[in-house]
């Protein structure tokens, strides 16, 4: 077993075990994405630091959100905490702790391990990380060079133009049969890479949209902490003081094709909207939000399906309605097919639905307390 294999083998429980029982963190807390948070044993004596050392399960990386700002995998953390001289010593230490002993053959394999460090070094400069809040680790933009700069024909045929795909860095992984969709935070830092698969096996397994792997590393990110397209469209949102929220990335790309610099659309990348996503939009000073999710109603007013879907949209709208004018799009006009995005039938249909948007009034004025950019609305 080499260091990479051992690292891949270690579960979150293993990590918690060694960090709390051996490296000296007094237990652990959890963040909202299920990542454990430890005391900052990286720069404090055991049992003394604050809980600001995050372990990102997807990248197997520790990040200390203080001035220390260490980015380390388990070996590097062990090396620092146990004052070991080398990566090799740290690997032996970890292997030993979990009951594996490194053989000489494993030692020979150390040359391969350097690729681990290359990947870790690709994380952007620590200075780019805002220490005031927990942020998603960023990825070097160079990583996108891994993929072919080809615009997918399937999306072109669906009405997304080449200029849009180029500006959003849409690429192809031809061997993996995937459209590559880079995800950025509001500042334009690359934080995740998702793929739209055309591979029959993956589609059969329901993996149409999934994070992309490069050399065994999965480039996923907490999707609910960000809004797809916001880095590109925040100026248009600030200028127009409104935003449309779609479910999927493709809808934002279609809107970009139609509206260019005036595109004020973003995607939640899922069928819910998180508090962080709400904060992101409110922080831009919007006064109108339009929720434009995929059609899940039938075309009958009052049918069980329609009522249920409307309730779902109203629940999402309630996150914004105490602060800004909030609308939902509900296709009761047989303009869309089931599961269509409101933009899937073209610009005219989208604009028809926008003209028929439904205002969701707020019934919870008290919730505006403490909100800077919000405003009260009379009911
Ligand atoms: Zn630290």
* Interval 41-73: pLDDT, tens: 999 888 889 999 999 998 889 999 888 888 889
Place of tokens 């096996």: 201
Beta-carbon contacts of 183 under 8 Å, excluding residues fewer than 6 positions away, are 190, 191, 192, 193, 194, 221, 223, 226, 228, 269
Alpha-carbon gap, residue 16 to 26, rounded angstroms: 10
Ligand 1 centre distance from Cα of residue 172 (Å): 38
Same fold, 141-221 and 230-368: no
Distances (CA, A) of 272 to 32, 36, 55, 316, 344: 15, 24, 25, 7, 20
Superfamily of domain 141-221: DNA primase, catalytic core, N-terminal domain (3.90.980.10)
Ligand 1 centroid distance, CA of 356 (Å) = 53
Ramachandran angles phi, psi of 218, nearest 5°: -95, 125
| Backbone angle region of 216, left / alpha / beta, with phi > 0 → left and psi within -120 to 50 → alpha | left
Report how far ligand 1's centroid is from the alpha carbon of 19 (Å): 13
Of 85-99, 239-253, 274-288, the one with minimum mean pLDDT is 85-99
Centroid of ligand 1 to alpha carbon of 68 (angstroms): 4
Say how many Å lie between the CA of residue 360 and the centre of ligand 1: 46
DSSP 271-323: SS--HHHHHHHHTTT-SEEEEEPPP-S-S-TT-HHHHHHHHHHHHHHTTTTTT
Q: Where are the domains of the chain?
A: 3-128, 141-221, 230-368
For residue 80, the CA-to-ligand 1 centroid distance in Å is 10
Helices 230-240, 249-259: crossing angle, 10 deg rounding: 60
Judge if pTM exceeds 0.85. no
Q: How far is the CA of 24 from the centre of ligand 1 (A)?
A: 13
Say how many Å lie between the CA of residue 44 and the centre of ligand 1: 7
Alpha carbon of 4 to ligand 1 centroid (Å): 24
Pairwise CA distance, residues 82 & 94, whole Å: 11
Q: Considering only 80-89, 290-299, 342-351, which range has the smallest mean pLDDT?
A: 80-89
What is the maximal distance between C-alpha atoms in the chain?
75
Angle at 190 between CA 188 and CA 195, to 5 degrees: 125
CA separation for the pair 261, 70 (Å, rounded): 39
DSSP class of residue 137 equals: P
What is the C-alpha to C-alpha distance for residues 346 and 295, in angstroms, rounded to an integer?
Answer: 15
Q: pLDDT confidence of 249, banded at 50, 70, 90?
A: very high
Tell me, in angstroms, the distance from the centre of ligand 1 to residue 67's CA: 7
The stretch 168-197 carries a mean pLDDT of 93
Q: How far is the CA of 130 from the centre of ligand 1 (A)?
A: 15
Tell how far the Cα of 100 is from the centroid of ligand 1, in angstroms: 28
Q: Kindly state the tokens that stand for 91.
A: 């690997």
Q: Evaluate if residue 284 carries a pLDDT over 60.
A: yes
For the chain, the average pLDDT equals 84
Select the highest-mean-pLDDT range: 113-127, 153-167, 359-373: 153-167
Cα(142) to centroid of ligand 1, in Å? 27
Q: What is the pLDDT of residue 292?
A: 98
pLDDT digit string (tens) for 187-205? 999 999 999 999 888 888 8
d(CA 283, CA 256): 22
How far is C-alpha 302 from the geometric centre of its chain's CA atoms?
36
Please name the fold of domain 3-128: DNA Primase; Chain A (3.90.580)
Identify the CATH assignment for 230-368 out of 2.40.50.140, 3.40.1350.10, 3.40.1360.10, 3.40.50.2020. 3.40.1360.10
């Amino acid at each position: 077993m080499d260091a990479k294999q051992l690292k891949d083998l270690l579960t979150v429980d293993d990590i918690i075990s060694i960090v709390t029982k051996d490296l000296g963190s007094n237990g652990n807390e959890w963040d909202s994405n299920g990542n454990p948070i430890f005391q900052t044993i990286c720069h404090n004596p055991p049992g003394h630091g604050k809980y600001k050392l995050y372990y990102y399960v997807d990248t197997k990386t520790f990040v200390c959100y203080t001035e220390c700002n260490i980015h380390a995998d388990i070996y590097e953390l062990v090396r620092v905490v146990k004052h070991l001289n080398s990566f090799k010593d740290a690997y032996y230490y970890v292997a030993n702790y979990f009951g594996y002993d490194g053989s000489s053959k494993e030692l020979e394999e150390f040359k391969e391990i350097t690729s681990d460090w290359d990947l870790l070094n690709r994380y952007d400069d620590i200075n780019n990380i805002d220490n005031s809040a927990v942020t998603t680790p960023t990825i070097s933009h160079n990583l996108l060079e891994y993929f072919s700069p080809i615009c997918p024909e399937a999306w072109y045929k669906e009405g997304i133009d080449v200029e849009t795909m180029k500006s959003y860095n849409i690429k192809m992984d031809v061997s993996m049969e995937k459209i590559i969709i880079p995800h950025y935070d509001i500042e334009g830092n690359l934080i995740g890479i998702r793929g739209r698969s055309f591979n029959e096996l993956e589609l059969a397994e329901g993996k149409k949209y999934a994070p992309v792997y490069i050399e065994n590393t999965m480039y996923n990110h907490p999707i609910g902490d960000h809004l797809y397209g916001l880095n590109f469209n925040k100026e248009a949102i600030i200028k127009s003081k409104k935003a449309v929220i779609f479910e999927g990335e493709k809808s934002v790309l279609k809107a970009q094709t139609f509206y260019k610099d005036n595109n004020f659309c973003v995607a939640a990348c899922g069928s819910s909207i998180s508090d962080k996503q709400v904060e992101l939009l409110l922080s831009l000073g919007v006064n109108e939000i339009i929720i434009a999710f995929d059609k899940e109603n039938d075309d009958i007013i009052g049918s069980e399906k329609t009522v249920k879907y409307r309730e779902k949209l109203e629940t999402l709208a309630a996150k914004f309605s105490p602060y800004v004018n909030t609308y939902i799009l509900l296709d009761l006009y047989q303009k869309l097919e089931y599961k269509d995005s409101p933009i899937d039938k073209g610009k005219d249909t989208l604009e028809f639905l926008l003209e028929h948007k439904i205002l969701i009034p707020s019934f919870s004025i008290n919730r505006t307390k403490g909100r800077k950019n919000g405003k009260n609305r009379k009911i």
